[in-house]
Amino acid sequence: MKKLPIFTIGVEEEYQIIDPETRDLRSHLSKIVEGGKILLKEQVKAEMHQSAVEVGTNICNTVHEAEKEIKFLRSKIVELADHQGLIVGGAGTHPFANWQDQLITDDPRYHNIIKELQDAARSNLIFGLHCHIGIQNKEMALKIMNQACYFLPHIFALSTNSPFWQGRQTGYKSYRTKVFDKFPRTGLPEYFDCLSSYEGFLETLVKTNCIDDPKKIWWDLRLHPVYDTIEFRICDMCLTADETMCIVAIIQAVVAKLYKMNLNNMSFNIYRIALIKENKFRASRYGIEGEMIDFGLQKEVETRVLIRELIDFIDEVVDELGSRDHINYVHEILKNGTGAAKQLAVFEETKDLKKVVDFITTEFTKGL
């Protein structure tokens, strides 16, 4: 049987920089980024808000390589923050920080975004997990993008980790997505029947001054405009490195499984984006604790059941990818709850959002 190609991995995480006294977000005045660039070169970047830091792994051939890098990056950012008297946390939103109080990074790119999008950009105080999977053949990548859309709500549900916003319990397991919805060109991607159709779409947007750069397509899943990757952008920033790597392993396996099917002249069913949006809403609202739609059966099914079915679906490629241990961690998430459920449990017990922040920052270093 023909071996799978190497599906390279790149992982990006967005971290919260927090004042240990107030537990509020705190501007680090680029000192963490500047210190990080000495140690980590291009693996650390400033974000739009000065209270955020983005890190990215190098190109990794396996989930194990990516795990080592993510744990190293988390450790180094914690160390750099400590030198500034600050701490670091991982969640899709901060429990009580006000976006109006946040300083914007002095960078032409961010100034241009704010000039165009105004308060929609200023209020975009959110933190995500992005995962790139390498595929050289763009036509194949587009096919996989179309088919992988169905699984986005399942993967997203596992990552939900933003139940609070501006000091309020929102009723959502991921309120981050509701905040990001204010941006244009976000959400689930459209279906494209061929690569020329996709490229024509991008060209039209650039030509008509809708965008000046294809990177301003901020979909939940996109063909990256520069790298030969499919980029999954739907997930909340995770509490722990173990959760991040479980989700990354599942994403890589979904791409590998769909690649294998297409190679064998098979294809996963492509469902209407309007239907998949229903599942995305349910994942945002309930995380793994509700139900989603099985469109094949045309009925509601427990989200946990659908996630287990997804794990069964990708099983045949997992050992070849060498990621079984990481994927098996999904059972811990299904048993103990996502980051959102854990944050809510702390708040239920303490009625104190500062205690929730303490939990977020403690979990961030777990397993490092």
Helices (H), the chain: 31-40, 63-83, 108-117, 119-122, 138-148, 152-159, 176-180, 195-207, 241-263, 273-286, 303-321, 324-328, 330-336, 339-350, 353-364
Work out the burial of residue 319: count CB atoms within 10 Å of its CB; fewer than 13 is exposed, 13-18 middle, 19 or more buried: exposed
| Terminal Cα-to-Cα distance of the chain (whole angstroms) | 38
Strands 218-219 and 186-187, bridge-based pairing:
parallel
Please give the distance of CA 48 from its chain centroid, rounded to a whole number.
Answer: 17
Q: What is the torsional sign of CA 354, 356, 359, 365?
A: negative
* Domains of the chain: total: 1
Q: How far apart are CA 113 and CA 130, in angstroms?
A: 20
Largest CA distance in the chain: 59
165 falls within a domain: yes
Alpha carbons 284 and 269: distance in angstroms, whole number: 23
What local confidence, expressed as pLDDT, does residue 22 receive?
97
pLDDT by 10s per residue, the chain, length 368? 578 899 999 999 999 999 999 999 998 767 888 877 777 888 888 888 899 999 999 999 999 999 999 999 999 999 999 999 999 999 999 999 999 999 888 888 888 889 988 998 898 899 999 999 999 999 999 999 999 999 999 999 999 999 999 999 999 999 999 999 999 999 999 999 999 999 999 999 999 999 988 889 999 999 998 899 999 999 999 999 999 999 999 999 999 999 999 999 888 989 999 999 999 999 999 999 999 999 989 999 999 999 999 999 999 999 999 999 999 999 999 999 999 999 999 999 999 999 999 999 999 999 98
- For residue 181, what are the domain limits? 9-364
Q: Would you state the pLDDT for residue 31?
A: 80
Q: Output the pLDDT for position 283.
A: 98
What the block records as the tokens of 53 is: 């830091």
In a domain, 158, yes or no: yes
- Residues, the chain: 368
Q: Specify the pLDDT at position 96.
A: 98
pTM comes to 0.96
Q: What is the pLDDT of residue 67?
A: 98
For the domain that residue 26 is a member of, what is the CATH number? 3.30.590.20
User: Would 4 be classed as within a structural domain?
Assistant: no
Q: How much is the pLDDT for 207?
A: 94
Residue 1 lies in a domain: no
